[in-house]
Amino acid sequence: MTNRVFTQRDIMQLPQRERANFINSLSGFKSANLVGTQSKEGLNNLCLVSSVFHVGAHPPLVGMLMRPHTVRRDTLQNIKDTGVYTLNHVHVSFADKAHQCSANYPGDTSEFEVVGLTPKMSSVVKAPFVAESIISMALEVEQINVIELNQTELVIGRVVEVVLADNILLNDGYVDIEKAGSVAISCLDSYHKTARLDRYSYAKPEQALSSIWLNDDPKS
């Protein structure tokens, strides 16, 4: 196998679209979530994000990085206006519909309607879930910080409601997102299903790892 090496100068000399694909690939696999919001006027909005990440469990915090608010961004505006939003796992059966939500529709268009997904209001916050998602959560904004390096906006929300299928939650709190059919994203536009390698025991020095998967739930 031959390696290729890119210096900082090589990276900066890539054409813009190639550089975007290249750098977006490097961080590794990403989560695939649809963000559900409502405008002040009550119009539903749905937006695909691959930038959701875990921030902490106590309190339960989830982060999401949004592109600069220099052009109209309905989702970010709605989140700022209402202080709430939902996150909904993209399921293998509607990855194409989720991707289509990234198209730049007019502000008065509900992406739910044009792509064919079903809004279902949260009982806790004023924002719609995606009824087709196997795992959904409602969040209240805790903070929104601009990252000065590139003007992206880091939204951190507190999880205030979780709705999920009851056959994917194990006794130890692990949610089997693979069984739930949640997809992973690479780069900007590639969607992947997963196949578990293993679940490993808590790692300690001088102690061999063991599988904790077979103990909990049959692999097949």
User: Within positions 119 to 138, which residues make up the interface with a second copy, using CB under 8 A?
Assistant: 123-124, 134-135, 137
CA distance 126 to 122: 7
Instruction: Cite the beta strand spans of 10-99 per DSSP E.
Output: 30-31, 33-38, 44-49, 52-57, 60-66, 84-89
Q: Does 192 bind a second copy (CB under 8 A)?
A: yes
218 lines the binding site for a second copy (CB under 8 A): no
Which of 13, 162, 214, 215 lies at the binding interface for a second copy (CB under 8 A)? 162
Q: What is the smallest separation between the CB atom of 157 and a second copy, expressed in angstroms?
A: 10
Is there binding between residue 220 and a second copy (CB under 8 A)?
no
Piece of the chain touching a second copy by CB under 8 A; list 21-29, 38-46, 76-84:
21-29
| Range 57-76 burial, b when 16+ CB lie within 10 A, else e | eeeebbbbebeeeeeebbbb
Q: How far is the CB of 115 from a second copy (least distance, A)?
A: 9
**81 vs 210, which CB is nearer to a second copy?**
210
When the beta carbons of 205 and 218 are compared against a second copy, the nearer one is 205
> Which residues ranging from 36 to 65 are in contact with a second copy (CB under 8 A)?
50-63, 65
Q: Is 144 a binder of a second copy (CB under 8 A)?
A: no
Cβ-proximal residues to 87 (8 Å cutoff; 6+ apart), any chain: 33, 34, 35, 36, 52, 62, 64, 136, 137, 139
CB 51, min distance to a second copy, A: 6
Q: Six-digit token pair at 11? A: 């990276």
Q: Does 197 bind a second copy (CB under 8 A)?
A: yes
Query: In the window 67-86, what residues touch a second copy (CB under 8 A)?
Result: none
Task: Show contacts with a second copy in window 103-122 (CB under 8 A).
Answer: 103-106, 109, 114
151's tokens: 């003007």
CA atoms within 13 A on the CB side of 81: 15
Per CB under 8 A, the list member of 47, 66, 76, 184 interacting with a second copy is: 184
Q: Which of 166, 18, 161, 152 is CA-nearest to residue 88?
A: 161
- Could you tell me the smallest distance in angstroms from the CB atom of residue 217 to a second copy? 11
Query: If you ran DSSP here, which 8-state letter would residue 139 be given?
Result: E
Stretch that binds a second copy, among 34-42, 73-81, 147-155 (CB under 8 A): 147-155
Q: How far, in Å, CA of 208 to CA of 205, rounded? A: 8
